């Protein structure tokens, strides 16, 4: 269902101007009032970053700005989990520079095709040839061990049915000292069963969200350290103010006197893989 939903977004999203995977969509059949570029600016993308992107890559599927969190340096290798049409990968490319590399992984063929079609425009606008896209699932990354400096993801991990495996894969592909910067949705408290049963809430990143404490535990269990969580409630507030169709539907299923922001928040997650320890000879 998730692959089919995002295939539809890849084919029709730019015309429908839906807001976010984490807030609706062709998947739940409504047009969002939140403009994709406006939403991107609200969650931290700079105007010059947006204006330099190939046309049509911003499908409004972001719930944060992991490229800013990542503090990517020239020459580093960055991996984008669930790269979609290439939005964050193309933002990250100039930061990696000519000696760096950006790899996007996505399981939806239609998204992958859209991203690859935009590489030529990216090359023309930046003069760089450092971005590529691979078909694959984030639970089984088509990436070698110990080969990546930075992993980012933008509102995608909640779509996985096996989140602990995703975190183990992140740790596997990291070089020692590698760092992760993820923007995703998290729960402040459990959602009512009525919301969890909504197919559109699953495709929209909401029904698959877990408590913040679970996210921290999964990252630590995978061997990552310095795990930091930073809630960003303004994202959900912006979608409600924009009358996002998915969030309005969720609100209708919540207990009286509550709203989506009481349950759901955008969350910035940073962590790193420990650096290699050199043992002194005994």
pLDDT for 56-99, tens place per residue? Answer: 665 555 565 677 778 899 999 999 999 988 888 999 999 999 99
pLDDT for 238-282, tens place per residue? Answer: 888 878 888 889 899 899 999 999 999 989 999 999 997 544 454
pLDDT at 100: 97
**Residue 281 forms part of a structural domain:** no
Mean pLDDT of 100-118: 92
Domain of residue 51, residue span: 2-272
Nearest Cα to Cα of residue 178 among 67, 65, 78 = 78
**Residue 282 forms part of a structural domain:** no
Sign of the four-CA dihedral 199, 202, 205, 209: positive
Residue whose tokens read 């310095």: 226
pTM listed for this prediction = 0.81
**Residue 278 forms part of a structural domain:** no
Q: How confident is the model at residue 152 (pLDDT cuts 50, 70, 90)?
A: very high
Q: Which is more confident, 251 or 203? A: 251
CATH number assigned to the domain comprising residue 54: 3.40.50.150
**Residue 127 forms part of a structural domain:** yes
């Amino acid at each position: 269902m998730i692959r089919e939903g995002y295939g539809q977004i890849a084919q029709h999203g730019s015309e429908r101007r839906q807001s976010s995977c984490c807030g609706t969509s062709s998947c739940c059949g409504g047009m969002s009032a939140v403009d994709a570029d406006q939403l991107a600016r609200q969650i931290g993308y700079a105007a010059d970053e947006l204006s330099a992107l190939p046309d049509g890559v911003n499908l409004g599927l972001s719930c944060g700005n992991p490229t800013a969190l990542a503090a990517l340096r020239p020459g580093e290798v960055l991996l984008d989990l669930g790269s979609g049409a290439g939005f964050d990968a193309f933002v990250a490319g100039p930061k990696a520079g000519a000696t760096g590399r950006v790899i996007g992984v996505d399981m939806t063929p239609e998204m992958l095709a859209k991203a690859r079609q935009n590489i030529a425009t990216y090359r023309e606008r930046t003069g760089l040839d450092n971005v590529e896209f691979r078909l694959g699932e984030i639970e089984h990354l088509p990436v070698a061990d110990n080969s990546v400096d930075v992993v980012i993801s933008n509102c995608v991990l909640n779509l996985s049915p096996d989140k602990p495996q995703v975190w183990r894969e992140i740790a596997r592909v990291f070089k020692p000292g590698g760092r992760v910067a993820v923007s995703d949705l998290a729960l402040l408290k459990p959602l009512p069963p009525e919301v969890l049963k909504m197919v559109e809430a699953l495709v929209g990143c909401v029904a698959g969200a877990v408590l913040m404490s679970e996210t921290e535990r999964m990252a630590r269990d995978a061997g990552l350290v310095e795990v930091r969580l930073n809630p960003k409630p303004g994202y959900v507030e912006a979608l409600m103010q924009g009358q996002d169709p998915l969030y309005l539907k969720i609100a209708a299923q919540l207990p009286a006197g509550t709203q989506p922001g009481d349950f759901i928040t955008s969350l910035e997650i940073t962590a790193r893989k420990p650096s290699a320890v050199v043992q002194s000879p005994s």
